Structure 1
Amino acid sequence: MAQANVLLKNARKDQGLTQAILAEKLHVDTQTVSSWERGIRAPLPDVRKRLCELLGKSPEQLGLSFAEENEADNSQLQVAVASVQKAIVPSSLETVAISLPQDRSIVDTTEIEIQAFPPLQAISLSAQVNNDSLRLHLLNRVYSLWIVGFFQHSLFRSILLRLQLYEQPNAVNNPWHQTVQESNLPARLLPIGTRIIQVYDEADGEVLILGKPGAGKTTLLLELTQQLLMRAQENEQHPMPVVFNLSSWAEKQQPLQEWLIEEFTMRYQVPPNLARAWIEEEAITLMLDGLDEMAGDYRTKCIEAINTYRQTHGLVSIVVCCRQDDYFAQPARILLNKAIVAQPLTEQQVDQYTSHENFNVKSMRLALQKDPDLQAMVTTPLMLNILTLIYHETPQGKASLISSLPVHRQNIFQTYVERVTKRGLLQRNYTLDQTNHWLSWLARQMQAHNQSEFYLERLQPTWLPHTAYQRYQAAILRLIYGIDIFVVAALFAWIRGGKRGDEVGVGIGLLGELGGRSGNDVLGWMKPGLGGGLEAGGSLGILLALVVVIVTLLMGSPMPIFSWRTLWQSVTSGLRNASLIGVGVTLIAGILFSLSQGLIGGFESGLSMGLFSGLLAGLLTGLINGLKSKPEMAHIVQDPSEPLQKNKQWQKSNVIKRFWDTVFYGCCAGVGFGGVYALLAGGINTYVLTYGAIAGAFMGLIFGAGGGTNLLHLGSGIEPVERVAWSWRNMRYHATKSLTKGLLLGMMVMLGVSITLSIASSGFYGLAYGMRYGIIYGMIVGLVGGLAAIFTGSLASGWSSDILDEHQFVRPNEGIRRSLKNALLVGCVFGLVGGVASGLISGFAFGFVGRLGGWPILSAGFTILFGVIFVLQCFILQGGGAWVKHYVLRWYCWRAGYMPRNYAHFLDYAADSILLRKIGGGYMFAHQLLRDYFDKLEMQGEISHHSNKKLQIRHTDNIDHIECDSHANPPV
């Protein structure tokens, strides 16, 4: 290994200079001076001259005489390489040059050079051949795989366009920056013609290469690898450059040293013991590519692993490559000396490139001059290389016939898409036809909705065709209401209790599990209930249903403004639906009960069930109409894409839709209610089927035919809940209104329930019991409903949600994930608080108003039920509904063929193919012209017939190896 240069170190100390002061005088980094003194590096010729002048000593006195010997050897190597180059490059070319470490004379003002790739034998013969055959084997393997196998094929006719670089100090975590006060230096352009090898030397072999997709980062990395291979073959003490792809690190996330040993063995067939020895002896220069190929979280962990490795291997030279946006999107900063960013190509560079005499692309140069929009796209070596191939391999006469700019662009972009999606190292998960089809749909929708940026969380149902939009809206209603109905029916069955043998009542259900007595005894004197076979256990459903309606309506909208008109609308709509649903349930229940109880008994039980159902339906629909304003109701049920029509609800299509809604909701309720009854009864029997069918008929009629789907404000669009906040100030500000309206609502509910229950129960048990039962139960329901309204209104007034600005997103679909997270948060918090509060209120009402000794059991039971209700409704209304609607919409789009199932993965693939640009958590087309191309693509039938319209281009080695930022490992 290298020996320390004691002479240089002593000479510096004799002059009273620190490494930092000497570095400042020489305009180099402190680490560079340190590497000279450690014997790892030698000063370049011009720097060596100034160093001798500063220290007042000759190169021999400073221990630098060997550098002159190496320089002589390098000159011989250059002559040997030049002789080989003449055999493989046309003699008409002006300049032949290879960037050697000590030769600075090759910095050209033209910014273009011919890159030589001499055979391995020429390098081996001209260099000082190392006696270590294993070392030479590794160097030759790296050269064969990466330089000849990839780098050489990535350059059209070996033309290397010199990129301008700028340094960005804040991209790295350099401990020396604070020492020499460089931590706050702004990014600065490096001199024109600065080579990556010069940056590497000045950074003491620690460089981070950044840039946009296609900007030439991998080319810079491999150019540097080629130069370091030459050095390693010249000097056996020089570390061996080895290229590794970091994308595989994310699989196991091992310590970097262990991962390097595995990669050595797998990619280069180096024995593990030898690989470990080379790494521990720091005989390897790590050329790390592919940091941007892993997810953001893994990228941060990988950088931390590299930094940890650097803590114990601080003298190892490391070069890391990553896309600029992906690197800065995560918080970690890599522990290296310098960071450079590859600049976009300038018009002057493109003009020099296209005017080079080695090309036959005059038509391309003229096209760029005539088409400024197309010229604006040529900002990366990738795009420039593709256009060069297209024009060079297109006959001059044919190119001149293309006079129409639109047709010309169309042909260019068609070939461009084919090339970037077929790059040799790009992971091909999608076919060309799929890519064209899906991006064409995206471009048309962005154009139709005036969007320049696409965020997955902003996908809306209006992107669907009219028929698909209607089906989607119907599916959303059925899915969300189906879940709601299923859960509420199951809860009602659980608290109402079932039948086990001869025992019937709440003691079989939840209340019995909490310690309630057999049958309905826990309800004390209220046990008879409405009568006609419907005991008080069934009446508990009134309380449950009213709380569901109040929580659902008030959690999603502010407290309503009560008026006589509102009261009249509530009464009329309630009576209308009570009559319709009461008669319907009476007929269905009467028929079902007659099968087991006979005609008279079945009719009596059916009448009781119909009275209860009509009562409950009237209360619910009246409450819904009273708490919801007319505009909101119209907004919910009206498809915005359809004109308003009178009597629309009685149109044939709408009648059919309501029929199927009734069947669907009825099935959801029947399965929920009957399923719980089957569990309570220990199996399916006539009792389970009968009451399951009745519950299904009731729910189906009220939500299908009765318009109960006005309950939830689902809207026509998707509005994620991406940010939530709580304000005690807002809650206190609205406290008086919430209290007043809650009490008023409770009184209205109490009055309605007392009147209807008194009349219904008096018909079976006489006026005395009926009046007592109706008034007291009405007071209980009114008290619980009013306090639930006050509590829910207070929570709704203090809680607020909002949609974030899209530019705050850092990951695709982050808004929908935030919406789900907030929905779970609100559901859990409000579910716990709301369930406990409502349960205590219910227990207090049954104990102190109803004088029931089992009120603690009732309180515990209702705490569980209301907790579930609060969780479910808050989840749906505070972001969960948007989450459901988003993924249902994605399913419809996938089913229609507009997108793949994993849309974010495809969009990332398109970004990797440089068809899209990734901006935080969103995407935009790489250029407006490219979006226009996809917008018109399918209308011209080019997807299925693209092979007939594309340019006839010969398949050459350059096609699949265009310069790019792909990072997959080459085949070994």
Structure 2
Amino acid sequence: MVHARLREWAGRVIHEQQAEVRNRLKYVLRDRDPLSLQLSEQPERVNLPALESERRLTIAGEDSELLDPGQLMIEVFGRGDIAGKLLILGTPGAGKTTLLLSLAEQLLTGANTQACAEGYDNPKTVIPVIFELSTWKNDIQSIQDWLIDQLYDLYGGDRKLKRYEQWLEQRVLLPLLDGLDELGMERQQKCMAKLNEFTRQYPQVVVCCRSKEFEESEIRLGNLRGAVELEPLSDRQIQAYLQQVEREGLWRQIQETPEMWQMLESNNGEAGLLRVPLFVSLAAAIYDRNQPFRTKGELLERYIDRQLKLDVRMSDRRKELERRKWAYTTVEKEPEVKLTRRYLTWLARQLDEISEVDFLIERMQPNWLGKTNRYVYRLIVCLFFGLIFTAVFGMNGLNFLIFGLMMGLMLGLFHPRIRPLESLQISMSRASIKDLTIPRKAVLVLSPFFALVGVLIYRGSLG
């Protein structure tokens, strides 16, 4: 029975990962035609002997420019000399995460196909899962323990069954690690040291990082067996893409505008802005033959303005309406553009301060508030608990209200961080229902609440 539950749980995680990866790819590639990318091998990045000359990755003798990058990655990942231990590098916006998602999609498809044929209990059936290294916050935590915590956070489950611990012991979990560069250099180096400890024994892992941040680190991921780097776009690739999206005039504009032409040139060893896929696609989106942009800031500003225009928002709403419910019933009820920009700027700063990439509502904390709003928040907490104490114990007068306020203040000061009790995961299969347990923390927190409700109802019935 236990093995049946483990098999069913593995299948569930694979299916959920497939859905998440497809949604992320759909979002990343939404309204964009994919650019052809080029990869080069960089064995010296993982302390392997450098090649006699830098070579492009090829399959069956074909130039990698003509190949689907995702297909290319799965071939490289499975090569005998790399054997599933790979480093992916590139500049910001070069397509590292998209490449990792494409690799994950193919690995998940293969895992699902193999599991359907041989069963999830087959020791050869790996379970690929994408993790964000930006959530590694404890400098002394091992990567294995962090992976286990992340799996419980993402998919829930009863810790007594030690599902995820068994996956790591049996080497069936395939970690795909993104966002190493989001940690900041000091923590990044500590994380890389922990990764070296983990990869010394673990057979398969993929790590994704920005080239510059990786080079600046004094530590190398020497246990990985191969490294690939996304190369800057060539003139031919840029022109082919602009022709595909019917923006041929943008290439002429680049040639005729000195400031834009300069954006093709490398700067301090980094690729020129307009040789990065993300910025080429943004430039194509805001192209105006009568109004060239001259700086990176101007490009981003005009793209944001475009995305916040009424017609673009209405178009996006129509595309997504069938798939999800929006907070605002009509586009006219959405916040004004100025207010939207203000809140997006604030949110971006908060995420940057805590080295987070993805915004999740459950991870918002009171310390994100400004100084004045933090005081307001604590005052509300104090009033809330003061009123509860007064209502429950039925004491009148100012003294007990003050006592309640003091208790609320203590709770606000000593428990400043909000944590979700448990990821809510529901499966109505028979095995999952038997496996369903109520977390102790939930019992401890909810019991006093229901007791309070019962007391109030009882007192109300007595008049």
Q: TM-score, normalised by structure 2?
A: 0.54
1:263 maps to which residue? 150
Matches of 1:277 and 1:420, distance apart in 2: 46
1:298 has 2:187 as partner? yes
2:281 maps to which residue? 385
1:937 maps to which residue? none
Matches of 2:189 and 2:229, distance apart in 1: 20
Matches of 2:11 and 2:93, distance apart in 1: 32
Q: 1:207 aligns with which of 72, 81, 86?
A: 86
Matches of 1:136 and 1:171, distance apart in 2: 35
Alignment CA distance shift 1:432-1:241 (3 Å): same
Alignment CA distance shift 1:269-1:410 (3 Å): closer
Matches of 1:306 and 1:233, distance apart in 2: 27
The structural deviation recorded for 1:157 is 4.2
Letter of the 1:233 counterpart:
N
Letter of the 2:192 counterpart:
I
Letter of the 1:201 counterpart:
G
1:233 has 2:115 as partner? no
1:339 maps to which residue? 227
Q: 1:171 aligns with which of 20, 45, 55?
A: 45
The structural deviation recorded for 1:232 is 0.5
Letter of the 1:285 counterpart:
L
Task: Indicate conservation of the 8 Å contact 1:197/1:227, yes or no.
Answer: yes
The equivalences for 1:706-745 within 5 A come to none
Alignment CA distance shift 1:322-1:374 (3 Å): same
CA offset digits 1:873-918 (Å, max 9, x no partner): xxxxxxxxxxxxxxxxxxxxxxxxxxx9x9xx78x99xxxxxxxxx
The equivalences for 1:236-251 within 5 A come to 236=115, 237-251=124-138
Letter of the 2:201 counterpart:
T
Letter of the 1:171 counterpart:
R
1:196 maps to which residue? 73
Letter of the 1:338 counterpart:
G
2:205 maps to which residue? 318
Task: Indicate conservation of the 8 Å contact 2:41/2:227, yes or no.
Answer: yes
The equivalences for 1:141-160 within 5 A come to 141-148=16-23, 150-157=24-31, 159-160=33-34
SS at 1:319 equivalent: strand
1:135 has 2:10 as partner? yes
Task: Indicate conservation of the 8 Å contact 2:189/2:217, yes or no.
Answer: yes
Letter of the 1:190 counterpart:
L
SS at 2:175 equivalent: strand
Matches of 2:258 and 2:304, distance apart in 1: 20
The structural deviation recorded for 1:420 is 11
Q: 1:285 aligns with which of 174, 180, 205?
A: 174
Matches of 1:215 and 1:183, distance apart in 2: 23
SS at 1:312 equivalent: coil
SS at 1:282 equivalent: coil
SS at 2:186 equivalent: helix
The structural deviation recorded for 1:431 is 9.0
CA offset digits 1:827-863 (Å, max 9, x no partner): xxxxxxxxxxxxxxxxxxxxxxxxxxxxxxxxxxxxx
The structural deviation recorded for 1:310 is 2.1
Letter of the 2:15 counterpart:
N
2:260 maps to which residue? 374
Matches of 1:419 and 1:213, distance apart in 2: 22
The structural deviation recorded for 1:217 is 0.8
Alignment CA distance shift 1:284-1:435 (3 Å): closer
Relative to total residues, which structure has the larger helix share, 1 or 2? Answer: 1
Matches of 1:222 and 1:420, distance apart in 2: 25
Task: Indicate conservation of the 8 Å contact 1:418/1:432, yes or no.
Answer: no
Number of corresponding residues: 287
Matches of 2:304 and 2:56, distance apart in 1: 33
SS at 1:214 equivalent: coil
1:86 maps to which residue? none
SS at 1:238 equivalent: coil
Letter of the 1:198 counterpart:
E
Alignment CA distance shift 1:154-1:347 (3 Å): same
The equivalences for 1:194-593 within 5 A come to 195-202=72-79, 203-236=82-115, 237-251=124-138, 253-272=140-159, 273-313=162-202, 315=203, 317-334=204-221, 335-356=223-244, 359-371=245-257, 373-374=259-260, 376=264, 377-391=273-287, 399=288, 402=290, 404-405=291-292, 412-416=299-303
Task: Indicate conservation of the 8 Å contact 1:138/1:268, yes or no.
Answer: yes
Task: Indicate conservation of the 8 Å contact 2:139/2:191, yes or no.
Answer: no
Letter of the 1:245 counterpart:
E
Structure 1, unpaired ranges of 5+? 1-130, 392-398, 422-429, 437-899, 910-970
Alignment CA distance shift 1:136-1:158 (3 Å): farther
Letter of the 1:339 counterpart:
A
The structural deviation recorded for 1:135 is 2.2
Task: Indicate conservation of the 8 Å contact 2:131/2:177, yes or no.
Answer: yes
Letter of the 1:374 counterpart:
M
Larger Rg: 1
The structural deviation recorded for 1:172 is 0.8
Matches of 1:305 and 1:419, distance apart in 2: 43
Alignment CA distance shift 1:406-1:163 (3 Å): closer
The structural deviation recorded for 1:136 is 2.2
Matches of 2:140 and 2:296, distance apart in 1: 45
The structural deviation recorded for 1:409 is 9.4
Alignment CA distance shift 1:367-1:261 (3 Å): same
Which has the bigger relative contact order, CA under 8 A and spacing at least 6? Answer: 2
Task: Indicate conservation of the 8 Å contact 1:168/1:186, yes or no.
Answer: no
Matches of 2:91 and 2:296, distance apart in 1: 23
Task: Indicate conservation of the 8 Å contact 2:40/2:229, yes or no.
Answer: yes
Structure 2, unpaired ranges of 5+? 1-5, 116-123, 265-272, 309-338, 356-423, 426-463
SS at 1:188 equivalent: coil
Letter of the 1:284 counterpart:
L
Task: Indicate conservation of the 8 Å contact 1:211/1:343, yes or no.
Answer: yes
Matches of 1:321 and 1:208, distance apart in 2: 6
Alignment CA distance shift 1:268-1:159 (3 Å): farther
Task: Indicate conservation of the 8 Å contact 2:94/2:277, yes or no.
Answer: yes
Matches of 2:294 and 2:39, distance apart in 1: 36
SS at 1:162 equivalent: coil
The equivalences for 1:654-669 within 5 A come to none
SS at 2:177 equivalent: strand
SS at 2:34 equivalent: strand
CA offset digits 1:541-583 (Å, max 9, x no partner): xxxxxxxxxxxxxxxxxxxxxxxxxxxxxxxxxxxxxxxxxxx
The equivalences for 1:775-854 within 5 A come to none
CA offset digits 1:500-538 (Å, max 9, x no partner): xxxxxxxxxxxxxxxxxxxxxxxxxxxxxxxxxxxxxxx
Task: Indicate conservation of the 8 Å contact 2:42/2:226, yes or no.
Answer: yes
Matches of 2:297 and 2:76, distance apart in 1: 41
Matches of 1:408 and 1:292, distance apart in 2: 25
Q: TM-score, normalised by structure 1?
A: 0.27
CA offset digits 1:648-695 (Å, max 9, x no partner): xxxxxxxxxxxxxxxxxxxxxxxxxxxxxxxxxxxxxxxxxxxxxxxx
Alignment CA distance shift 1:349-1:259 (3 Å): same
